[in-house]
Amino acid sequence: MSDPALQTLLLPLEDGSVELSADSNILFLRARAGRELAMLRDHKLVCEQSFAPDRDALEAMGLKVDAEIDASGFDAVLVLPTRQRQEARAQLARAVQKVRCGGLVIASAPNTEGAKTLEADLEALIGSSEHLSKHKCRVVWGAVDTATVNQALVSEWAALDAPREVLDGAFKSRPGLFAWDRIDPASRLLADHLPDTLAGRGADLGAGFGFLARTVLERAPKVTSMDLYEAEKRALDLAEENLAAFKGKKPMNGVWSDVTKGIEGPYDFLVSNPPFHQSGKADRTDVGQNFIRAAARGLRSGGQFFLVANRHLPYEHTLNEVFADVKMIADEGGYKVIRAVKAKGK
């Protein structure tokens, strides 16, 4: 798949607007894989990415990837800011903090996802910037001079996506996570229809900050253990905090992984509110369908899978392919809750 924001990000290097020496140390925040990165092969490139599918793709290219980079003093920092405003500003501020004096910050975003705002934000932080537009995206860049950086604004914005208490202190979360400051209605509907008879070894596929997993543990006393699968490590770390009350009482395991590549097992039951967006806004029904297939492979014979999804998403065909018994148990507010049981002997 093409990645217009990544293509545009590297335009200043491609057309000579920006030059970096061969031994430059480059940090790439919210890095994504693509053939465009080949132009950086002679540089010392380090990638920061906490989203497992993007991490896996970068590692498949032979790149070094960490969920969070502590080092600073880089000659250049590249960044593909996320769509959430607070998180995007925090990422841009971190880029300024990570680059050496005189080094470059280069950032890119689609025009429909705040490209002009990105340019204004970079100027607010470092005093000036340049830009190019292509592929319906904009790349902005500038040299960071400590004498002209707005240090107060850098510090303020760097803290915008910090973890904090939400929902009257019931959970900890942070901007940028899915439904970060609320319980989304789909997860709430699924939680309302989970039986208190759940028992044995279970897992939450796409656990977010831990709402569904905590609901299961609070409601179903016969559950013996709970695993949390989550692609976004920033969410998983908070989910483990949000389930701290159960530590030492029941085994729990946080798994930072791409569920579509498979899960461990066998499990007695699984719950899931699968994502149906990755990068961009278009529905990705394949993600949810691959969650369903992974769930079927990871359940024991006779195990149960509880799934919630937007009503319009065509998951029933996939469910009927891999499960013996599929039943819709709720249909409210544009969402459907489905219970699927794996065939015995499978």
8-state DSSP, 285: H
Give the integer Cα–Cα distance in Å for 224 and 249: 9
Give Cα 324 distance to the centre of its chain: 32
In one-letter notation, the amino acid at residue 244 is A
Closest by CA to 157, choosing from 211, 95, 216, is: 95
Q: What is the pLDDT of residues 103-150, one digit of tens each?
A: 999 999 999 999 999 999 999 999 999 999 999 999 999 999 999 999
Instruction: Spell out the alpha helix ranges (H) of 176-334.
Output: 185-192, 211-219, 233-242, 285-298, 316-322
8-state DSSP, 44: E
Phi, psi of 296 (to 5 degrees): -60, -40
Going residue by residue through the chain, which has 346 residues, state the pLDDT in tens, using 9 for 90 and above: 789 999 999 999 999 999 999 899 999 999 999 999 999 988 999 999 999 999 999 999 999 999 999 999 999 999 999 999 999 999 999 999 999 999 999 999 999 999 999 999 999 999 999 999 999 999 999 999 999 999 999 999 999 999 999 999 999 999 999 999 999 999 999 999 999 999 999 999 999 999 999 999 999 999 999 999 999 999 999 999 999 999 999 999 999 999 999 999 899 999 999 987 555 444 567 899 999 999 999 999 999 999 999 999 989 999 999 999 999 999 999 999 999 999 976 6
8-state DSSP, 33: -
Closest by CA to 5, choosing from 115, 122, 163, 155, is: 115
Give the integer Cα–Cα distance in Å for 328 and 279: 29
Which residue shows structure tokens 């490209």? 115
How many C-beta atoms surround the C-beta of residue 85 within 10 A?
Answer: 16
Which residue shows structure tokens 């359940």? 299
Between vectors from CA 247 to CA 246 and to CA 250, what angle results, nearest 5°?
A: 70
Q: In this structure, what token pair is assigned to residue 182?
A: 């609320």
Give the integer Cα–Cα distance in Å for 238 and 235: 5
Residues 6+ apart with CB under 8 A from 37: 6, 10, 45, 61, 63
For 34-169, list the strands marked E by DSSP: 44-48, 64-66, 74-79, 99-110, 130-134, 137-143, 164-166
Domains, the chain, ordered by start: 4-158 (3.40.50.150), 164-341 (3.40.50.150)
Q: Is the dihedral of CA 97, 99, 104, 105 positive or negative?
A: negative
Contact, 86 vs 114, CB < 8 A?
no
Instruction: Spell out the alpha helix ranges (H) of 80-146.
Output: 85-98, 115-126
Which residue shows structure tokens 């500038």? 142
Separate counts of helices (H) and strands (E) for the chain = 11, 16
Phi, psi of 164 (to 5 degrees): -155, 165
Strand, helix or coil for residue 313: coil
Closest by CA to 30, choosing from 100, 96, 97, 107, is: 107
Whole-prediction pTM: 0.95
